[in-house]
Amino acid sequence: MGALDLDEGPLTLHFIPYPSPGHMIPLCDIARLFSSRGHHVTIITTPSNAQTLHKFVSHRLRLHTVNFPSRQLGLPEGVENLAAVNSVEDSDRVHEAAMLLRGPIECFLERNPADCIVADFFFPWVHDVATKLRIPRLVFNGFSLFAVCAMHSMYANNPMHLDAYSNVVRDLPHRITLNATPPKVLVDLTKPLLETELKSHGIIVNNFAELDGEDYIQHYEKTTGHKAWHIGPVSHICRTAEEKTERGQESVVSAHKCLSWLNSKRANSVLYICFGSINQFSDKQLYEMACAVEASGCDFVWVVPEKKGKENESEEEKEKWLPRGFEKRNVMKGMIIRGWAPQVLILGHVALGAFLTHCGWNSTVEAVSAGVPMITWPVHDEQFYNEKLISEVRGIGVEVGAEEWDVIGFVEKKKVVGRESIEKAVRRLMDGGDEAQQIRRRARELGKKARAAVEEGGSSHKNLTSLIDELKRLRECRK
């Protein structure tokens, strides 16, 4: 059927995000992208998670809430997101509770027909429901396609019964040797999920084609026969300082305070340190980080967990993670943010010189969009793959040398990355030598490409148009 025959009426789409900021923030941005193109979207979520989304509600974007069975799993009322817990046990409970949402969500999907369901890959059961209802399903896993290709390759080349995987990723356009091997538990968790997503109509990727690279897109489509739609970086949907400050959660520091502090700094002079929404380091590790930052002499913005420096934290408690007198000595040089930071706003400031990051995919693609080079310190999930995309494949960062791959960020780490390694990596990017300048130049160029990708005529903008056309075509076929 030709494009001219398509019913041009708006599509109806249902979005089902997984309750963790790294999954929920980008999928809700994607929902907003569809509604900004005139389509009707419903985000299906739970009451606490809905609180962060009310500001986006319009006649084209609505929320449907289902109850989160916190009590049933022994979680306090209102704890409905991985960012709200700080132990492995509680994170397992949040995950288990999220898996129990199938009943009420399925009920909603049956009663409210849509043209497409876009669900997180943590909800593989959506495949059965969508098949039963004859509705196309798209999957969002929150990864770069580079990481997805690497995972498929790892899983194909390492039999499941192996206790330890190799750290060499074979059969990709580049030969990749990871700095650690993936934990078996992570493989056991993600392998079946990645297999189920191959049964969908495609995956939506929060990235732009130029960063994953045509070679990886072709590799994915050739080896899996599956379609990947690159429509990012989706954080570009947040245009104003206010939108950037409220993205995900309300920031603990105002946009005004952040911007006036950053405005007082020279271009490329500030190191930004943030390890995402769920990672936790030991006091000992934070202490090493503080010593390294101070020794490097850089200006810095350092995001630490909310409980650090809470009002009643005693000097004795504080000195476990922060060297004595650190705040006083660095009152002009540094800003410590205790709790949620307006990351996209900070990364977009010209004062930013480098980002010390855990390589969570959202953080990575946000830094790339802003043209900020990275110091990579992967910790969990697929972050060790992202590190290689940043440091070796695209040459827009340097590695700190982390070698401990956890399943999730809450795990107590056995190894501590020493202050010397951290300081060395920071200096490599912040000292302005030849290597740093080349890395910075490449990061800037990619940043320009990222911004161009989402503008009219850019690759991601066109991909979103094609995806919308494809969904209209599928709607026509079902009539």
| Number of shown-chain residues binding ligand UDP (CB under 6 A) | 20
Site for ligand UDP (CB under 6 A): which residue of 75, 262, 274, 471?
A: 274
Based on CB atoms, which residue is closest to ligand UDP, 141 or 343? 343
Active-site residue among 120, 212, 299, 381?
120
Based on CB atoms, which residue is closest to ligand UDP, 190 or 472? 190
Task: Write down the least CB distance from residue 401 to ligand UDP, Å.
Answer: 20
**Which of the ranges 261-269, 292-300, 340-348, 465-473 carries the binding residues for ligand UDP, by CB under 6 A?**
340-348
Task: Write down the least CB distance from residue 422 to ligand UDP, Å.
Answer: 19
Q: Using CB under 6 A as the criterion, what x/- string covers residues 222-251 for binding ligand UDP?
A: -------------------------xx---
Residue 276 interacts with ligand UDP (CB under 6 A): yes or no: yes
> Shortest Cβ contact with ligand UDP: which residue?
22
Site for ligand UDP (CB under 6 A): which residue of 42, 206, 296, 362?
A: 362
Residue 453 interacts with ligand UDP (CB under 6 A): yes or no: no
Residues numbered 23-42 forming contacts with ligand UDP, rule: CB under 6 A: 25
CA distance 355 to 376: 8
Active-site residue among 23, 39, 358, 380?
23
Site for ligand UDP (CB under 6 A): which residue of 340, 355, 405, 410?
A: 340
Residue 341 interacts with ligand UDP (CB under 6 A): yes or no: yes
163 noted as active-site residue: no
Based on CB atoms, which residue is closest to ligand UDP, 136 or 360? 360
380 noted as active-site residue: no
Residue 154 interacts with ligand UDP (CB under 6 A): yes or no: no
Q: Could you give the residue numbers annotated as active site?
A: 23, 120
Binding site for ligand UDP (CB under 6 A): 21-22, 25, 247-248, 274, 276-279, 303, 340-341, 343-344, 360-363, 366
